[in-house]
A and B are shown apart, each in its own frame.
Chain A
Amino acid sequence: MVSPKINFNTKHLGKGDPLPPWSGKLRVYNMRLCPFAQRTILTLNAKQIDYEVINIDLVNKPEWLPTKSIFGKVPTIEVEDGVCICESLIIAEYLEEVYPEIPLISKDPIKKAYEKIIIEASEPIFVMYFKVMRTPDTINDETLMSYHKALTFFEGQLRNRGTRFLGGEKPGFADYMIWPWFERIQSMNDEKLKIKSAKFDLLVAYIENMYKDPAVSQYLLPKDVMDKLHAEYKTGKFEVQSIEDLL
């Protein structure tokens, strides 16, 4: 099955930009750099659902955004004209139910529960990423310990399952929900964050395999864009006038 070709790199709409008229196609309100919105993109890609992307300038939000997203954030999906669902994990679970053809979540209630537990367990990973990027001074022994504990938990889950991905031989729900953090960690050259094969050999191999997954590879951010984003935060003040300045 050939995946429909989606344009991810449209202009990020900001204040004054009109809301594009509803076209009947499932719509994702996205931001090209947002890891949470990436979860939705990965889900849609993996399930080969056709959709259109409306990129949102989060630095300079369009006036109509709250009508599409209760909390004014991305991701949010519009499933019918004016009918929207927000929150990345809720969106993924909704899509799983409504588009059952390519399942990402286990049908077994216990396995399903563990997929959700692993996602919860990954919180220290993104906490660490955000701290390294924005507030490195707040990183202490506890932060580092939580981060390593989360990586260890993840490695343990891979070991227990004995499969290439958490979802089995192909990535599933947990793999896609956590991937955005691994992609960003890999792009930063930070000693505290680095996932080393000495301790995490399964995780290192896993990350290499995830890069090759088609749902992931079609949406990878170019390195220079990631570097620009990280450099901007390192200055201590995020001064871009628009997301477009980073792309």
Chain B
Amino acid sequence: MSAIKDSRNINFNIKHLRKGDPLPPFNGKLRVYNMRYCPYAQRTILALNAKQIDYEVVNIDLIDKPEWLTTKSAFAKVPAIEIAEDVTIYESLVTVEYLDEVYPKRPLLPQDPLKKALDKIIVEASAPIQSLFIKILKFSDTVNEEHVAAYHKALDFIQEQLKNRGTVFLDGSEPGYADYMIWPWFERLRAFAHDERVRLEPSKYSLLLEYIDNMLKDSAVSQYLIPLEILAKFHEAYTKKERPNYELLNECLKSF
């Protein structure tokens, strides 16, 4: 798997800034406005890691947003990247496509226009996986057979793509755009392995499960993984309708 020697020392596990916290001054380094547990922001982080771009993270408290957030991200969402002072780009796929264009090392999207289109189609096809995840997390009672069927159809599609391509990852011998853009949800579904609606049946999804194992070992992914117990604890807050604790990892790491 990926044996990239990574010399960047990115601190992902810093305090999530909230209302009243000042905006850290821009110091010239590419900045990601992030939330440690956000799957959409994770897409940007994965692309930056894979392309070994140096960057800093500013974590945002999404429940109690800092006043200055809309000056960086017009829709007050994460991710947003600040590429020069006050020059920002937001919307996860837009940030990744921008980075892929501007940083040519380790291209994530295929060069061939048709292959590129097919990669993007795979990401679109993963939409039912994203929507089932958020429903199970926040509105578990509203999950019906249709949602679960659409989820399985999406998994079948992705598995079929893997099978047809015959490569370790969707994008070849190393992960690429399609792999990284769908990964955040595969990572989170592991925390719901007990839930029958979500669980990947080994008899049905052996190729996909093998793929997930391979992705876990990829360095862009592994350096940003959240331990399953922490992820489960973070998710618990949503099911209990409590305020999520963004500082779980920071608290956990401090205790060592």
Contact = CB atoms under 8 A, between A and B. Distances in A.
Nearest to B124: A87
- Kindly state the interface size class of chain A when it binds its partner: 20 to 34
- Kindly state the interface size class of chain B when it binds its partner: 20 to 34
Contacts of B63: none
Interface string B156-170: 010000000000000
Given A85-B117, A87-B124, A90-B121, A109 B102 contact: yes
B14 interface: no
A71 interface: yes
Given A70-B157, A117-B89, 18 more contacts: A70-B121, A85-B118, A85-B121, A87-B121, A90-B117, A90-B121, A91-B117, A93-B120, A94-B116, A94-B117, A109-B101, A110-B87, A110-B89, A113-B94, A114-B89, A116-B93, A120-B94, A153-B74
A159 to B, nearest CB: 14
Main secondary structure of the interface of A (DSSP, over half): helix
Interface string A80-121: 000101110011011001100000000001101110110011
Contacts, number: 58
Interface of A: 70-71, 79, 83, 85-87, 90-91, 93-94, 97-98, 109-110, 112-114, 116-117, 120-121, 153
A116 B102 CA distance: 16
Contacts of B4: none
Contacts of B125: 70-71
Nearest to A149: B75
A73 to B, nearest CB: 11
Contacts of B101: 109, 112
A94 B94 contact: no
Contacts of A153: 74
